[in-house]
Structure 1
Amino acid sequence: MGDGLEETVANIKDLNGRTALHFAAVGGRAHVCRYLTAEAKLDVNARDGKGETPLHNSITADRYPTAVHLLENGANPNAATDSGLTPLHYAAKSGLKKFLLLLILKGAEVDAKADSGTPLKWAAIHGQKKAVKILLDNHADPNMIFDFIHSPLVASILASSFDSVKLLLQAGADPNTCSLGMTPLEVAASNGETQLGLTPVEVAALGGHIKDVRILLPVTFPIPKVTDWSFDGIMKYVNSEKFERKRKLRKLEHFFLSTSKGEDAFMRKDYVNAIRWYTEAVDTEAALLSTHLNEGDLALRDAIGSRMVLPSLPKAHYAEGVAWNLSKDFKRAAESFLTGMRLDRKNRQLNDLFSLVLLDSAISHQFSLSHKPKRFPTTLSIL
């Protein structure tokens, strides 16, 4: 065709920046694609408003012959959208085996990084076990993670894809590597509860996830306190009173440390991290409340242990004072609050609690009655 028709076709775009070649790729019109690339000389790697190329569109629409034609005529297998997604990401998401093999054959980067992860992570989070296997067989890195992105192993857990979990572990995925603050399998095993200081196998056993325990046990270093390093041994250990005390103490420690880090970040005007640490503290506080509500003896035991670990932290003495008050030992409660006041003289809440507990003590002594003390907040409030 002449008379400038080819140039006219090449310059036509819709409001989203898509060319005629984008539409031909979506529709699977291979003969039209041939004309547009060979005769009209349209750019085979033209990007639309989102950065998608005709090759991206052919994969989205599952148009294999069109994808073959585009790649044979110069389509870039590593072309990335504005968010970094390559054609391999698209094929991995949909589990398109033929496209995956074709793209890899044509030079697609197996570990291409997008804002939302690698193709392997995309395959894992969408439960595409066949795509996971193909990518791993072609040397995709099972341990590649970066800021704010789940690892492929965690992604497969979130997708409830047990087959993908096995494939990743067999390929060398590290079950002890943290991803967004949590280790692999910890997400599923803990039902969303952050288990601080515990190994993944402990968390899996605590949640009764038998399959996860059997997977993790052979790849976890033995825990010194577990004398019988076997499936039965680990299950017995996590149901022991010793383990329960350890878990509660770790939560208390994490609450105090998270709050302290939140305050430090706030003072530096690092508000993003301040919110992060305060949120962690609140989440930990909620878990503690569900355990300690109306259980003064447990609260006291854990609070004393935490105060011993963190004696310079005012909140540790606050928690101990609250626990002593629950146990109706007003004298020791007052001593704990007083110690906290000395560490943080500007803390009005500690001053108020100190005054109230002295008043309770005086009333109880004066009337010699089983006076019910004022219920100070059992929550370990952020001071």
Structure 2
Amino acid sequence: MEAARDLVYKACKTGNIERLEKAAAELPESQEIRTLKDDTQRTPLHVAAESQSVDFVSHLVEHRACEVDSPDEDGDTPLIVAAANGNAAVVDYLLSRGASPRAAGLLGGMPIHRAASSNHAGIITTLIKAGSDVDAPSKTGAPLTWAAGSGSVDAIKALLDAGADANYRAEGGIGALLMAAAQGTAAAVSALLAAGCDPNAEQPRGFSCLHAAADRGEVAMVRALLDAGADVGARDEQGNTPPEVAAINKHRNVVEVLLERCPEGPIEGRGGRAREWTVDGLMAWGDEYRGQQKFQQAGGVADERAEVPAAEEPDKDRAAERKREGDAAFVGGKMEEAIEAYTASLRHDTSLSVTWANRAACRLRVSDWDGALTDARTARTIDATNVKAWYREGMALRGKRMWQESAEALYEAMRLEPDNATVSNAFKEVILEGRSDTMAKKAAAETKAGV
């Protein structure tokens, strides 16, 4: 079964119908292409939707009865996969076969979010005509925010032309302009400013768009924000102004640009903490600040390893059977049943990374951050190339509000799959969520040291 299944998936990657049918003939009588799922619950249609032709995809749907809205373990449907990969013809076809343009993955990302993140403007237009909400919310923002974070200017323009609210932000969330300043490009920032985004809109913990651009050292972005009226003297929650943030991060050229607009320092009552408001004075203060607040880089998340326990009752067949039960419960949304089944599987075989990673996914769903962290870390200890394990470790650490460690784990996942939009957007969100907490720790240490 495993060998035949693998041949089916390989055929879907090549788009060869003859190879597909030959592989299908090798499947046991009880199995069909439409019922197959891999270890991440992806169907053959998911794989084909990435890059194959409409002819191949239509063969799976019309001749092999593959479901167009079947979700994988992250909730992604074949339409989401096609939209993320820019497969416009397959997007059109799946929509014509009834695929939902509003189906959402675990982070809330719908096809339109994924197309926006990947800069597929034509697909965005198609999805909106099919019923996608141009301002659809997700855990990491509206489609415009996803486009902004990846610097996808064509997508930004397509969304704005379709009526997207340039200043939309869910309660407690992050708007498009801040995401563009923190993770996008100067061109994305300029496009959003031209659409009416407010550069001085109130942001979580006072970390403004200009703070974000200064933190990154993006001179062109800083100039665009200044030209739009961004406040040089704005303070974040820790009292730092954009020039001070630039100095802390050794961006002398940004400090120079900012001081051109604010040579006398912030207005009374809103001043920063540097003692001398000159380029040299700010840079010297930044050096002192870093000297007091150095992070210890050794012993990061990537160096952490879990101890893989021995199986209590070794039996690989029983382990596989219980794992299948867990998979079925997971797909059915029965998280507690899935956890119980995966736990039983691990009693018989602890060597499979995927079983640990799957139980981690279930524990994330029920907000068991500690359990999810242990499972995910064990999974990637067994297999350091398991992207899902690194991702779930990052999400568990995020739940525990361990921002730096979460970002490190998500970064490892990004290194393995640079084009994975789910991981990329989670990483961006964690960076922004954790920035203020990181700055708070620095400020507290500075106060204790008497700086």
Question: Which TM-score band (shorter chain)?
Answer: 0.5 to 0.7
Aligned to 2:300: none
Q: What is the deviation of 1:115?
A: 1.2
2:159 aligned residue: 135
Which residue among 278, 283, 288 is the counterpart of 2:442? Answer: 283
Please give the secondary structure, in 1, of the residue aligned with 2:215.
Answer: coil
Name the larger-Rg structure: 1
CA distance in 1, matches of 2:89, 2:122: 11
Q: 1: distance between equivalents of 2:143 and 2:86?
A: 17
> How far did residue 148 of structure 1 move?
5.4
Q: CA deviation at 1:85?
A: 0.7
Deviation at 1:84, TM superposition (A): 0.7
Unpaired segments of 5 or more residues in structure 1? Answer: 194-203, 219-233, 252-270, 290-376
- Give me the whole-angstrom Cα distance separating, in 1, the residues matched to 2:86 and 2:266: 56
Asked if residue 379 in structure 1 is aligned to residue 450 in structure 2, the reply is: yes
User: Partner residue of 2:330?
Assistant: none
Q: 1:37 to 1:236 in 2, by over 3 A?
A: closer
Query: Is the 1:79–1:86 contact (alpha carbons within 8 Å) kept by the matching residues of 2?
Result: yes
Determine helix, strand or coil for the equivalent of 2:206: coil
Match status 1:43 vs 2:67: yes
Query: What is the TM-score of this pair, normalised by structure 2?
Result: 0.46
- The amino acid across from 1:95 in the alignment is N
Within 5 Å, give how 1:194-343 maps onto structure 2. Answer: 209-216=222-229, 238-240=262-264, 243=267, 246-248=270-272, 281-284=440-443
Structure with bigger RCO (C-alpha 8 Å, 6+ apart): 2
Give the share of equivalent positions with the same residue, in percent. Answer: 27
Please give the alpha-carbon distance, in whole angstroms, between the structure 2 residues aligned to 1:208 and 1:76: 37
C-alpha separation in 2, matches of 1:117 and 1:20: 30
Contact 1:25–1:58 (CA under 8 A) maintained in structure 2: yes
| Alpha-carbon distance in structure 1 between the residues aligned to 2:95 and 2:29 | 25
Q: What's 1:58 paired with? A: 82
Distance 1:90 1:161, change over 3 A: same
Which of 171, 178, 190 does residue 202 from structure 2 map onto? Answer: 178
AA aligned opposite 2:124: L
Q: CA deviation at 1:154?
A: 0.9
1:166 equivalent among 181, 185, 190: 190
Between the two proteins, the alignment pairs up a number of residues equal to: 246
Between the aligned partners of 2:221 and 2:64, the Cα distance in structure 1 is 63
Cα distance in 2 for residues equivalent to 1:25 and 1:17: 15
Aligned amino acid, residue 283 of structure 1: K
Pair 1:66–1:250, CA change in 2 (3 A)? same
Corresponding residue to 1:18 among 42, 55, 69? 42
Residue pair 1:124, 1:153 contacting (<8 A) in 2 also: yes
Equivalent of residue 89 in structure 1, options 104, 113, 123: 113
1:152 and 2:176 matched = yes
Where do 5+ consecutive residues of structure 2 fail to align?
Answer: 1-20, 232-257, 276-399, 402-433
2:340 paired residue number: none
The verdict on how the C-alpha distance between 1:27 and 1:248 changes in structure 2, with shifts beyond 3 A counting, is closer
Within the candidate set 96, 103, 118, 1:72 is matched to 96
The TM-score, its normalising length taken from structure 1, stands at 0.54
Q: Which one-letter code corresponds to 1:171 in the other structure?
A: A
Shift of 1:88: 0.8
Tell me if structure 2 keeps the 8 A contact 1:24–1:30: no
Root-mean-square deviation over aligned CA pairs: 4.2
Distance between the aligned counterparts of 1:208 and 1:86, measured in 2? 29
How far apart, CA to CA, are the structure 1 residues paired with 2:57 and 2:221?
55
Q: Residues 108 and 214 of structure 1: is their aligned pair in 2 closer, same or farther, counting only changes over 3 Å?
A: same
Residues 143 and 169 (structure 1 numbering): CA distance in 2 closer, same or farther, change over 3 Å?
Answer: same
Q: Distance in 2 between matches of 1:27 and 1:185?
A: 37
Question: How much does 1:177 deviate?
Answer: 1.7
Counterpart for residue 110 of structure 1: 134
Query: 1:62 Cα deviation (Å)?
Result: 2.7
Residues 19 and 163 (structure 1 numbering): CA distance in 2 closer, same or farther, change over 3 Å?
Answer: same
Q: Distance in 1 between matches of 2:435 and 2:88?
A: 45
Residue deviations 1:319-347, cap 9 Å, x none?
A: xxxxxxxxxxxxxxxxxxxxxxxxxxxxx
Q: Deviations over 1:186-209 (max 9, x none)?
A: 22454389xxxxxxxxxx99x995
Match of 1:122 in 2: 146
1:125–1:237 Cα change, 3 Å = closer
Describe the shift of the 1:174–1:27 C-alpha distance in structure 2 as closer, same or farther (beyond 3 A): closer
Q: Secondary structure, in 3 states, of the residue corresponding to 1:24?
A: helix
Conserved? CA contact 2:200–2:209, under 8 Å: no
